A and B are shown apart, each in its own frame.
Chain A
Amino acid sequence: GENVEQHPSTLSVQEGDSAVIKCTYSDSASNYFPWYKQELGKGPQLIIDIRSNVGEKKDQRIAVTLNKTAKHFSLHITETQPEDSAVYFCAASAYSGAGSYQLTFGKGTKLSVIP
Chain B
Amino acid sequence: NAGVTQTPKFRVLKTGQSMTLLCAQDMNHEYMYWYRQDPGMGLRLIHYSVGEGTTAKGEVPDGYNVSRLKKQNFLLGLESAAPSQTSVYFCASRFGGVAKNIQYFGAGTRLSVL
Which residues of A pack against B, CB within 8 Å?
1, 6, 9, 32, 34, 36, 41-46, 49, 89, 93, 95, 98-103, 105-108
Contact (Cβ within 8 A) A99 B58? no
Contact (Cβ within 8 A) A107 B41? yes
Residues on the A chain within 8 Å of B40, using CB = 9, 107-108
A102 and B101 CA atoms in complex are apart in Å by 9
Which residues of B pack against A, CB within 8 Å?
4, 31, 40-45, 48, 50-51, 56, 58-59, 90, 92, 96, 98, 101-108
Contact (Cβ within 8 A) A98 B56? yes
Contact (Cβ within 8 A) B106 A102? no
A108 and B106 CA atoms in complex are apart in Å by 18
Contact (Cβ within 8 A) B101 A105? no
| 8 closest residue pairs by CB, A with B | A43-B105, A107-B42, A105-B43, A105-B42, A32-B101, A99-B50, A44-B105, A43-B107
A107 and B42 CA atoms in complex are apart in Å by 4
Contact (Cβ within 8 A) A93 B50? no
Contact (Cβ within 8 A) A45 B102? no
Contact (Cβ within 8 A) A101 B106? no
A4 and B14 CA atoms in complex are apart in Å by 34
* Chain B minimum-CB-distance residue to A101: B101
Residues on the B chain within 8 Å of A93, using CB = 101
A34-B103, A41-B108, A100-B48 provided; 6 other pairs, C-beta below 8 A?
Answer: A43-B90, A43-B107, A95-B98, A101-B101, A103-B103, A105-B43
Which of A1, A34, A95, A102 has the most C-beta atoms of chain B within 10 angstroms of its own C-beta?
A102
